[in-house]
Amino acid sequence: MCDSLELVPVAIVTINEQGKIVFANSKAAELFGYCSDELSGSSISLLLPELPLTEVQTRDGSFSSAEMSSPPIQQMLVAKRSDGVEFFSEVTTRQCRLDGISVRLVVVTDRSERYEMHRNRQELAHLTRISALGELAGSLAHELNQPLTAILSNAQAAQRFLESDPINLSEIRETLKDIVTDNCRASEIIRKIRALVRKGVVELQPVDVGSVVHDVALLVHSDAIVRGIRVVLDIADNLPMVRGDKVQLQQVVLNLLLNAFEAMHDCPADDRVVKVQASSEANGTVQIVVRDRGHGLTVDKLDKIFKPFFTSKPHGLGLGLSISRTILTAHGGRIWAENNTDQGASFYITLPWEHPAGLNRSC
């Protein structure tokens, strides 16, 4: 049997019930940088520190029949080479009998390149978020300046009320209430900016699509005013939750809104309206539609806009829509564009519902 495992072109290790290596084929020795003889008798934790050793054993120390017939277990783990270098690996384990002995078969596949590609995609998504917020820098500063100016004015007014005789306590209470409200507004803007610029792993959790749209609308509020654009929100009540990463979904909606603003920069004032709709569809999805009243998309652009590095902006990266499609595909959703029958274009997003039974699933 060991001779057969030696011929298999993947790294295979067998361990006993104590977690000691019984056999390692040449591919495993090559992958981890050891000689096969060096590995024999060593603990599997030398190669796979995170591999759990929780087999069900009988009283004589062998694996139980239930464990022997159980299906293989596949997981992503950090592996360690002989020189101490760690890499991501896909590990498949299964109980079996090898030359009459109960052992645990461990198949290890190096997935470091695939992980690196995934990490690069995350870095690129982060870059496009930073780029989008860069476009909003001036309007966000204005958006923050408004509540800060109001806080200063109200604080000065409260000082004057305190110096008056008699002191008008009701006016002071109202003034302090306004200060708290403006402070909360400024804090909320800062919190939303920090959420979008943060760098971290994707967190899959139940997400309220209506909340995503409202948060992004708050971020672009001042930019819309500066451009003379009216944003109309039509969010259905009691939308089903979707499962996803809130920051990434905000990134998609933010990109679509900024594109819609750009599409209408030379339109008459009356046409500068962007409508964002969110509704529940009968096919088990939540749909978001961003409609503009710009000049629409030519046939060739409809085919190219989701390709990397295609942009009509003078200083655009050409990655926003491409990354948006990647994000939505990873969420099990879709994105596409259509020209409106009257004027402008609409971008459609669909995301599958998060069924109540799945709300507590692990990420």
Distance CA(291)–CA(336), nearest Å, equals 12
Does pLDDT of 199 surpass 70? Answer: no
Average pLDDT on 29-47 reads 85
Does pLDDT of 257 surpass 80? Answer: yes
Does pLDDT of 73 surpass 60? Answer: yes
Distance CA(258)–CA(195), nearest Å, equals 18
Nearest to 259 by CA among 196, 212, 327, 323: 323
Domains and CATH numbers, the chain: 2-110 (3.30.450.20), 118-358 (3.30.565.10)
Does pLDDT of 67 surpass 50? Answer: no
- Name the pLDDT band for 357 (thresholds 50, 70, 90): very low
- Name the pLDDT band for 254 (thresholds 50, 70, 90): confident
Residue 294: count other Cβ atoms within 10 Å of its Cβ. Answer: 22
Residue type, 153: S
Highest mean pLDDT among 119-123, 125-129, 270-274: 270-274
Does residue 242 contact residue 351 with C-beta atoms inside 8 Å? Answer: yes
Residue type, 278: A
Average predicted confidence (pLDDT) for the chain: 78
Q: How are beta strands 101-110 and 86-98 bridged, if at all? A: antiparallel
Q: How far is CA 144 from CA 134, 176, 193, 215, in A?
A: 15, 19, 11, 15
Burial of 105 (0-12, 13-18, 19+ CB in 10 A): middle
Contacts of 303 by beta carbon, 8 Å cutoff, 6+ apart: none
pLDDT of residue 65: 44
Distance CA(92)–CA(96), nearest Å, equals 13
pLDDT of residue 58: 40
pLDDT of residue 241: 92
DSSP assignment, residue 72? Answer: P
Average pLDDT on 98-125 reads 72
Average pLDDT on 101-116 reads 79
Contacts of 204 by beta carbon, 8 Å cutoff, 6+ apart: 243, 244, 245, 363
Does pLDDT of 104 surpass 70? Answer: yes
pLDDT of residue 233: 94
Average pLDDT on 146-168 reads 80
pLDDT tens digits, 299-350? 767 677 777 655 655 555 556 787 788 888 888 899 998 999 888 899 999 9
Does residue 325 contact residue 310 with C-beta atoms inside 8 Å? Answer: no
User: Which residues sit opposite 21 in a β-bridge?
Assistant: 15
Taking every pair of Cα atoms in the chain, the longest distance, rounded to a whole number of angstroms, is 99
Question: What counts of helices (H) and strands (E) characterise the chain?
Answer: 12, 12
- Name the pLDDT band for 363 (thresholds 50, 70, 90): very low
- Name the pLDDT band for 293 (thresholds 50, 70, 90): very high
Does residue 20 contact residue 44 with C-beta atoms inside 8 Å? Answer: yes
pLDDT of residue 209: 93
- Name the pLDDT band for 234 (thresholds 50, 70, 90): very high
User: Which residues sit opposite 338 in a β-bridge?
Assistant: 346
Q: Pick the residue with more confidence: 132 or 233?
A: 233
Average pLDDT on 234-260 reads 88
- Scored b (16 or more CB within 10 A) or e, 171-204 reads ebeebeebbeebeebbeebeebbeebeeeeeeeb
pLDDT of residue 66: 43
Does residue 12 contact residue 106 with C-beta atoms inside 8 Å? Answer: yes
pLDDT tens digits, 125-147? 666 666 666 656 666 665 677 67
Does pLDDT of 206 surpass 70? Answer: yes
Q: Where are the alpha helices (DSSP H) in the chain?
A: 2-7, 26-32, 36-39, 65-68, 112-135, 137-163, 169-197, 209-219, 221-227, 246-263, 299-304, 320-330
pLDDT of residue 236: 92
pTM: 0.52
Q: Which of 76-85, 159-168, 277-286 has the lowest mean pLDDT?
A: 159-168
- Name the pLDDT band for 68 (thresholds 50, 70, 90): very low
Distance CA(24)–CA(104), nearest Å, equals 12
